[in-house]
Amino acid sequence: MEKLITIKEAVKEVMSEDSRSRNSDKWLILQTLRKLGFKIYLDYDDLRKMPSFESITRARRFWQNDKKILLPNKITSDKREAMQSDYKEVFR
């Protein structure tokens, strides 16, 4: 059985093996997803043109949390609240 790897471990391994990942969050994300077993096929030039994943999720949070529009369904909302609560508890 293959050993499961945590996200932190995967990020560390990617950053240790690939210096480009230390300078580009997009590259780090892509390589981490690959390390975790996801099959992603993307030309590096396309990756450089893409907006950051953080910018996209930050924009979603703006519309949902600040403007209170385009809200998620109840299941997703409940999951996000639980994750936020767990995160706050762990990092107090």
Query: Tell me: the pLDDT tens digits for 24-49?
Result: 888 899 999 999 999 988 888 888 88
Residue 82 is assigned to a structural domain of this protein: yes
Among candidate residues 4, 53, 51, 49, the one with its CA nearest the CA of residue 29: 53
Q: Which amino acid is at 42?
A: L
State the angle between helix axes of 25-35 and 53-61 in degrees (0 to 180), rounded to the nearest 10: 100
Task: Output the pTM of the full model.
Answer: 0.62
The verdict on residue 2 lying in a domain is no
Please count the helices (runs of H) and the strands (runs of E) in the chain.
5, 0
Asked if residue 57 and residue 39 are part of one domain, the reply reads no
Residues 18, 43 within the same domain: yes
Question: In the predicted model, is pLDDT for residue 68 greater than 90?
Answer: yes
Number of domains in the chain: 2
Domain that holds residue 25: 7-49
Q: Which tokens hold the place of 6?
A: 């945590």
What residues contact residue 29 under an 8 Å CB cut-off, 6+ apart?
Answer: 53
Please indicate, yes or no, if residue 69 is contained in any of the structural domains: yes
